[in-house]
Each structure stands twice: as C-alpha cells, then as structure tokens.
Amino acid sequence: MAVIPTQYQAVVGLAGHVDHGKTALIEALTGMITARPHEQQLGMTQDLGFAHFQDDHGNTIGVVDVPGHERYLRNMVAGVWHLNVLLLVVAADEGWMPMTTSHLDVAHAMGIEDIVVCINKRDKVSAEQLAEIEDQVLEQVMERSGLLPEIVTVSALKKDNIEALRQLLIETVQVNIARHKIIAPANSDDNSVLEPATDPLMYIDRVFVVNGIGTVLTGTLAQGQLAIGDKVRCQPSNLIGTVRSIQAYHQQLTSVSATCRVAVNVKGVGRKDIGRGQLITGINQHITLRDQCIVRLTKTATTLKVKKQRQVEVAMGTWHGTARLSYIPNTELARLVFEKPIPLLFGQRLAMIQKGGSGLQHGAEVVWTDYIFGYQKRRLYDVLNNLPQQLQPESQRQMLLVLQGYFECTDTDFKATEQQTFIAPFCFDSQWLADMSRQIETLLSAGISMASAELCSRLRINDAVIELIMQRLKQQQKVHLSYGKWCVGQGDNEDDLPQDALNILHQIRQFGKAGLELNKVKIVGGKKWLRQLSHQKYITALDENIYFDMAVYLDLVKAVIADHQPHDRITMTDIKDRTELSRKYSIPLANRMEKDGWVKRDNDERIILRAWQINA
C-alpha cells in the first residue's frame, strides 16, 4: 500500500470545452483570475493561465488553465505535458462536447493517469439531468481512456461544493505522488517525499524581460531541482546561463524541486536567444538532439484507417512543429523526421495532430533516437515493439542489454545485478561480455593482429566499449598491444608507456610514410623518448634525423623485398619505385635495411640477404 505523503509539490491542469467555466472554476478554487484582460473581453482563454492553492498542511498545488477552443489545441498540449492530475470540466447544461473528447484524448496520449471530472453549472439543470450527465461523462472517460474517474458536481459562480472539489483534488494528487515518487520508509519518523537526485528538466512556456532583473523563463519543473547559482543549458540552442533568482507561486526561493510551476531569472541568456518550446536541463545532463526518432504509438484516432506516410504537427512539451510520419510495417512503431534537430528523451510523450487541423492523429512515446544500421533494423523493431507498456528508465536499460549487450550509465549510485558486469561507464550483460571476449580471442588467435578501430568495424561495437573489453583482456594477460594492434597472448604493451612517449609515438604514426623529421617538428620531452621507443622497437631511425613507426618501416621493407629471394639484386631505382619514396627517404631506408640485415650494398646495387616470407 502506497504511503501518502504529507509534504509534496504538484500541478493540476484544467481542460474542457470552451465556455464550460474553467476560468471561473479556478477563481472559485484559488481566488485567482487566470484570464488576461483581452481574454476576459473576448470571453475565451487563448493561452495558458496559472494559479495555485494550498492544502491543509501548507503544500502548494499549481493550477494550469488550458484553452478550450479547438484552434488552441497545441497550447492545450503545452499545458498538460507534465501534470499530476487532470481536472476535466464539463458544463451540466451542455454536456460532453467534441473538444471535451479532444482534450481527454490528448491528456491520455500524454500519459496522464489520474483524472478528476468536474461537472460545473449544476445549478442550471435538474437532479435527473445531472445524473444523466454523470453517466454520460463516466461512460465517455472509461471508453476513451480505460480509466475510472472520480466525479464531483459544482457551481463555480455560486461557489457551491467547491470545498469538496478541493479535497478531492488534494487526495488524488497525494495518491498520484505516492505511486510515482520515492517515499520515506514506513518505520521512519519522516513521512515526506524523498526527491531523487536528478538533473532539472523544464520546458519553457513563457519568456519575458523584467527591468532591472533580466530574462525570466517560466515553465513546469518536471524533474530534479533548481537552485540559485546553478548552471543550466537551453536546448536546442545550447545556450548556458546561471540561475540568478527563483520564484514559485509568488514567493522568492533559493531552490525549488519538481513538480512545480516556476519562474527563473537566468543570467547569460537573452530574450531574443530563447523562446517557448526550448528545454532547460542541467549543465552536464546528456540530452540527445536528433532530427528523427522512432516512436511507439499509444493512442490512435478512431477515424484513422489508412496508414500512409504524411506530414503531421507534433506537440511535445511546450514545443510544436511539423514532422514526416512513416509507419513501420507489422509493428506499433513509426518514424518521425523533423525539420531540424530537437531534444528527445526516452519515454517522452507526444501528440500528433492533423496538419492545419485540430484532430488528434496519434499519441506516442519516444523509444529510439540513435542511428540505425541496416543489419540492426529488424531486431531493433522487434525489441522496441515488445517494450513493457509502462516505460521506466530501467526499460531503456533492459532494451539496450537485449539489443546490444551493454548500456552507458553515469549514475554514481548504480549497482549491477548478478547477471551484469559494471566497468565504468558501461554496464554489460555478463554472458554477452564473456561471449564477446571469446570471440575477440578467437579472431586474434588466427594469427591476425587488429587495431581497436578494426575490431570496432568487424564486431560492430562502440569504440569506447571495445577499448574497455580489450583493457580487461589485457589485465587478464590474454592479449597485448603491439605496434598499435592487439595480439593474442602476453607481451609488452605499448599503452603502458609513459604518456610523453605515447604522445610522440602517436605523432610519428600520424606522419606515416612522410616520417618525423627532427629539424621540422618539436619533440616534447626531448630525444630520450625517441631513444626509448627505438630501443623497444616501436619506432626506427632511418638516420639521425628521420624516424618511422616500426609498422610503417616493416611495410616498406616488405615492399622492397616483395617476391625476391636471397642473393637477388635490386637497384635504388627499384627501391624508390616499390616504396614510392623520394631519394631523400629511399637512401636512408636502404641504409637502415642494411643495418638490420635485410640487404647488403654492392656498389650501386643491394643484394637481398633474407626473404620476407621467412622472416616476416
């Protein structure tokens, strides 16, 4: 049984058909008028309105008023993208209307699980009519969402039964929070909600400038905390700012936690640089920016029959824009291609609306944002199509373990299970790691040494993952790194060299056949590292001024010897042609080969002393 918290923060959203009394209901509930002057004159809410009230313990519950007219459906999505509870308002004298359906469908598509239905204007109908409306509302909500809503009847203008509505909202909010958040243990003296240590996440719904203060961003803080002095990043603009002040529900605060309506004064971000729809995150938080993604369809318009590729409007958080929708055959998946990269999160809910219209086409949730290789598609689609119905962060991890055998984890408190192996920053499926290690050993045992990049390409694995696996095998003395390539068995490992020596070795390898010339390049650490690398045969000196990587040198030797046998003769012209080196390099190369016993000079010719096949 969930523990009901005594300390919490929450946000409730009001939705429903235009002129069903949402704004008046908020005034009766909170004492605040959310409609702006021009909206009051018009008699219709056009954009989001905000208010709040408190429960008996002083906890603040934010209230978001969303427009009821169909032309403002995208603003409605912005208002309900992250709510604890939806308050669906239906006027008793008009009953269920088309926009009531649209609002319920969008809210359900955005993943809202707790719905309270308020039948307003009950004073305008008889008891029998009111009972009929209650039955109608119950049937509609259950049929369209599968949820069993609590229903309360009120008269906002007469403030009749408002207290019952208030108490019902408080109880529903508490149940919602208890179900989704971490609660202190039952035997603890503290019965408060324990907020997870997560980075902030907030979609911006308004941006304005206050004289003497600067740029202010408002939105619903959906997760994490914000504190004065924190660095935040705006996505997708990638602007970085510093939180200078915080206000929530007309109070100046030093910090605030989710879920909460908040206004943040950010230094370093200009009014023209940022706008509605951008996402505020922590400075080190990894957010994927992609121009396409795969989504799992969670709600589909009943009138939608033909699954054709087409343009749709996508509403996600407070952002909305157009995308090309393509269905993936034989799955509940689809691909969305946006006009430009936007921030995308695993499990993020979105609504697809008919382009230029107001009908909900689909509700969906983001399940994949990375590039897809051709060989990976069918298996990926199968895994994505079989994700659990309720997505959690753990769902993504389990999906990646099944799909690729590992996932990246920067959580310092992460603990691997018995079937997992954690080698920071990756967590591996232990069986997959063992199988892949054996596969690598088998490849190298065939007598072919491979660089890390070759292994990545051959095995189709992330380069950082390959490096971790190879270092693990090296520690187990099963492989060693020689001349930039991994070899099976024990041996000297060049990556154990001092960093200065490694830097020089990398520098020489970058020059390739051009070689490193001391009179042209400055060597950090001096010639002592050159002597050490030459002594350990990682490099070779053609003369006192020119150095080659040993692997490059041996390739040149092979090119010179080629199909020759001992006692064969070659000229310097042969050496130049076979190595494609200039005279400046070919003569020092021939001299080096003579020192190493490959050839012997006889006037202008060189006599082959060893065949390559025998000595390779």
Distance CA 4, CA 15 (A): 26
In a domain, 399, yes or no: no
Is the pLDDT at 604 greater than 70? The verdict is: yes
**Listed residues 444, 470, 494: the one ending a domain:** 494
Span 226-243, mean pLDDT? 94
DSSP conformation letters of 41-87:
HHTS--S-EEEEEE-TTS-EEEEEE---SGGGHHHHHHHHTT-SEEE
Residues 173, 208 share a domain: no
**Number of folded domains that form the chain:** 5
In a domain, 130, yes or no: yes
Residue 36: band (very low, low, confident or very high) from pLDDT cuts 50, 70, 90: very low
3-state helix, strand, coil in the chain (%, to 5): 35, 30, 35
Helix axis angle, 22-30 relative to 162-180, nearest 10°? 90
- Are the beta carbons of 443 and 424 closer than 8 angstroms? no
Q: What is the CATH number of the domain that holds 144?
A: 3.40.50.300
Enumerate residues 6+ apart whose C-beta is below 8 A from 51. 26, 29, 30, 32, 34, 62, 63, 65
What pLDDT shows up at residue 197? 46
In a domain, 188, yes or no: no
In a domain, 422, yes or no: no
Lowest mean pLDDT among 61-75, 202-216, 301-315: 61-75
In a domain, 501, yes or no: no
Is the pLDDT at 41 greater than 60? The verdict is: no
| Mean pLDDT of the residues in the chain | 86
Residues 530, 476 share a domain: no
H-type alpha helices, 335-481? 377-385, 393-404, 430-445, 452-459, 463-475
What pLDDT shows up at residue 182? 40
Residues 256, 116 share a domain: no
Higher pLDDT, 502 or 3: 502
Radius of gyration of the chain (CA): 34
pLDDT in tens, 146-159: 888 999 999 999 99
What pLDDT shows up at residue 273? 86
Residues 489, 438 share a domain: yes
Please state the φ and ψ torsions of residue 98, each to the nearest 5 degrees: -55, -40
pTM: 0.74
In a domain, 17, yes or no: yes
Residues 535, 458 share a domain: no
Residues 295, 278 share a domain: no
What pLDDT shows up at residue 422? 93
Q: What percent of the chain stands above pLDDT 90?
A: 52
pLDDT in tens, 261-317: 899 999 999 888 898 899 999 998 888 899 999 999 987 765 565 677 889 999 888
Higher pLDDT, 383 or 186: 383
Total residues belonging to the chain: 616
Q: What is the CATH number of the domain that holds 486?
A: 1.10.10.10
Residues 163, 26 share a domain: yes
Give the CA count within 13 Å in the CB-facing half-sphere of 333: 21
In a domain, 400, yes or no: no
Identify the helix (H) or strand (E) that includes residue 477.
none
**Listed residues 472, 494, 516: the one ending a domain:** 494
Residues 102, 24 share a domain: yes
In a domain, 210, yes or no: yes
Please provide the distance, in angstroms rounded to a whole number, between the alpha carbons at the two ends of the chain.
72
What pLDDT shows up at residue 412? 67
Question: Which of 301, 287, 342, 347 has the alpha carbon at shortest distance from 320?
Answer: 342
Strands 406-408 vs 426-429: parallel, antiparallel or unpaired = antiparallel
Residues 94, 20 share a domain: yes
Give the residues across from 62 on adjacent strands.
11, 52
Residues 306, 245 share a domain: no
**Listed residues 387, 414, 442: the one ending a domain:** 387
195 by Cβ neighbours in 10 Å (0-12 / 13-18 / 19+) ranks as middle
Span 12-31, mean pLDDT? 88
What pLDDT shows up at residue 523? 77
Six token digits for residue 144:
């369209």
What pLDDT shows up at residue 114? 92
Tell me the residue range of the domain where 162 lies. Answer: 9-179
pLDDT in tens, 335-382: 999 999 999 999 999 988 887 766 788 889 999 999 888 888 999 999
Largest Cα separation within the chain, whole Å, is 120
Residues 119, 82 share a domain: yes
Residues 442, 355 share a domain: no
Is the pLDDT at 184 greater than 50? The verdict is: no
Q: What is the CATH number of the domain that holds 331?
A: 2.40.30.10
Higher pLDDT, 94 or 111: 94
What pLDDT shows up at residue 73? 62
H-type alpha helices, 405-429? none
